[in-house]
Structure formats: C-alpha cells, structure tokens
Amino acid sequence: MAAAAAAAHGAESRKVITRVNEDVNFGEVTEKNIRMLSVLNEHVFPGRVFPATYSADVLANEDFCRLVFFNDLLVGYAIGRHEPEASSVSVTQVGVLEAYRRRGLARMLLDELASHVQRKHKGVTRFVADVGADASPATAALFKRAGYLPASPGSSVLTKHLV
C-alpha cells in the first residue's frame, strides 16, 4: 500500500518528458519534487554537506537539470548550471543510487540532459564537466562514454560540443 502511494505521489510530482522503456523515464525538477531530490542527494553522497541555497539554486536552473525514474522511483539526477557568456552548461552533479548503478542510467541522464537543453536552449554549444584530479576512474569513464573529451591534454576538465 505504501509503495503504491509513493508511486502515485511520484507520478503527480513530476512531468514525464522522455520515456526510454517501460522501466526508465526522465522528468523535470520542480518545486513539488525538490525535497525528494535533496533526500536522494543525501543517499548518493552520504556525509556531503550541501549549501542552504542548494534547492533555490537548482530550481533557478531547472531547465538544466534532469531526474531519472526507474519503475516510477526517483533513483538519479543530473544537475547543470547555465553559463550564458560561454554558451555552455557546466555539469555540476550526476548521481544514481547505488542499487541502480551499472544499468547505464547515469549515461542516459547525461544524454537526456544534452538533448533536453538542445531542444530548449539553441544558444548552448557545449557542455563542460570538471571531474577533478581526485575523481574516480569510473566518473571520468562515464563522461568519456557520453562523448566528453579533455579540454586539453591531461586536463580534468572535459567538454562535449553539441552539433
């Protein structure tokens, strides 16, 4: 019963934009589901402290954020920040709950984020992700599989140019 109520609440609190298959779909960050994103964040990055302005910052950039639902459960997200002076979007976070990793959801999120931004913001020409020198090899590999390339040899800054 509780699972059905949670699924019903999940369906009401998001707008489905893209359905990949019967199990996976993507949605927007809204005022109705921002709290769910905050809770998810605490589970994906345990112990990490997010600023008090986190929710407001995400909502201010809602066109540059995507959520992934697996069987109507929120399991991951990709968050970007628009950099209009550079005609780019900086990908600041990508996270998927541990139990749902290794299913290609993070890669699908990055692809969906790029596709969504291309549809809504024709002026964006590239995506940028600074994976940092201390990033796991899996993080760098994820972005490379999604078409991001080093900005310069040996750089932790990866870019993806949109066509």
Q: At 108, is the pLDDT very low, low, confident or very high (cuts 50, 70, 90)?
A: very high
From residue 115, how far is each of 10, 17, 46, 126 by CA, in Å?
A: 23, 11, 29, 12
**Closest residue by Cα to residue 103 from 28, 37, 24:** 24
Place of tokens 């459960």: 73
pLDDT at residue 5 is higher than 60? no
35: which 2 tokens?
A: 């709290």
Q: What are the strands, taking DSSP E only, across 28-125? A: 65-70, 73-83, 88-96
- Give per-residue pLDDT as tens, 25-80: 999 988 888 888 888 888 888 877 677 777 888 888 888 999 999 998 999 999 99
| Nearest-angstrom CA–CA distance, 79 and 65 | 4
The gap between the terminal CA atoms of the chain, to the nearest Å, is: 47
**Closest residue by Cα to residue 101 from 136, 125, 128, 132:** 136
pLDDT of residue 14: 46
User: pTM of the full predicted structure?
Assistant: 0.80
Q: At 18, is the pLDDT very low, low, confident or very high (cuts 50, 70, 90)?
A: low
Q: For 6-33, what is the mean pLDDT?
A: 66
- Give per-residue pLDDT as tens, 111-139: 999 999 988 888 899 999 988 866 778 88
SS3 136: coil
User: Could you tell me if residue 28 is left (phi over 0), alpha (psi between -120 and 50 degrees) or otherwise beta?
Assistant: beta
